[in-house]
């Protein structure tokens, strides 16, 4: 038997416990975009994950209460944008409720399948949604990659301890 380590005082499962633990988990920052009935929509996501190489698929989570959910719930295609460390302000804009996300200074264009594509990102993809899986007060969206560009310059933006940060060596 090994010596017991100090595990601190365990807490019962709660939304606050989950948020506190995941503040310690550094995550890449992405912006998900879609064409909505009233114009483009988008939000900052740190839940982006690669799911499958064959076929190329990814996933992300979205709250049912998010302003972008109605468009994501009905659209066929979405844009996925990997942000660089020079885009902290853009990440904050897409994370803020009620912000004019596609107004100046956000630079974007209409891309394939009518998906809003953000300028100056590290990489972007246009994906076809294949499933929306219920997960508590969220949906996990599974999407198959159609096309994209991985060649943007810079270093990735990370989210850690409630803040956007650049990657350090």
Q: Give how far the C-alpha of residue 143 lies from the chain's centroid of Cα atoms, to the nearest Å.
A: 13
d(CA 36, CA 42): 9
Q: Angle at the Cα of 153 (from 81 to 27), degrees rounded to 5?
A: 45
98 phi and psi, to 5 degrees?
A: 80, 0
d(CA 48, CA 80): 9
Exposed e or buried b per residue across 130-140, where buried means at least 16 C-beta atoms within 10 angstroms of its C-beta = eebeeeeebbb
Percentage of the chain beyond pLDDT 90 is: 89
Q: What is the pLDDT of residues 7-28, one digit of tens each?
A: 888 999 999 999 899 899 999 9
Task: Return mean pLDDT, the chain.
Answer: 94
Residues near 91 by beta carbon (within 8 Å), at least 6 away in sequence: 29, 31, 44, 83, 157, 159, 164
pTM: 0.92
| C-alpha dist (Å) from residue 25 to 20, 21, 61, 160 | 9, 7, 16, 6
Q: What is the pLDDT of residues 34-75, one digit of tens each?
A: 999 999 999 999 999 999 999 999 999 999 999 999 999 999
């Amino acid at each position: 038997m090994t010596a017991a380590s100090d595990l601190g005082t365990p807490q019962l499962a709660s939304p606050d416990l989950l948020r506190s633990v995941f503040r310690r988990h550094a995550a890449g920052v992405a912006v998900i975009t879609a064409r909505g009935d009233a114009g483009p929509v988008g939000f900052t996501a740190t839940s982006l994950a690669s799911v499958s190489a064959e076929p190329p698929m990814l996933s992300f989570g979205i709250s049912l209460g998010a302003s972008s959910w109605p468009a994501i719930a009905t659209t066929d295609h979405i844009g996925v944008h990997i942000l660089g460390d020079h885009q902290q302000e853009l990440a904050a804009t897409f994370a803020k409720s009620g912000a004019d996300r596609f107004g100046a200074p956000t630079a974007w264009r209409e891309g394939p399948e009518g998906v809003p594509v953000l300028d100056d990102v590290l990489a972007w993809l246009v994906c076809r949604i294949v499933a929306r899986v219920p997960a508590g007060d969220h949906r996990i969206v599974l999407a198959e990659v159609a096309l994209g560009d991985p060649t943007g310059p810079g270093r990735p933006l990370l989210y850690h301890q409630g803040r956007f940060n650049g990657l350090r060596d």
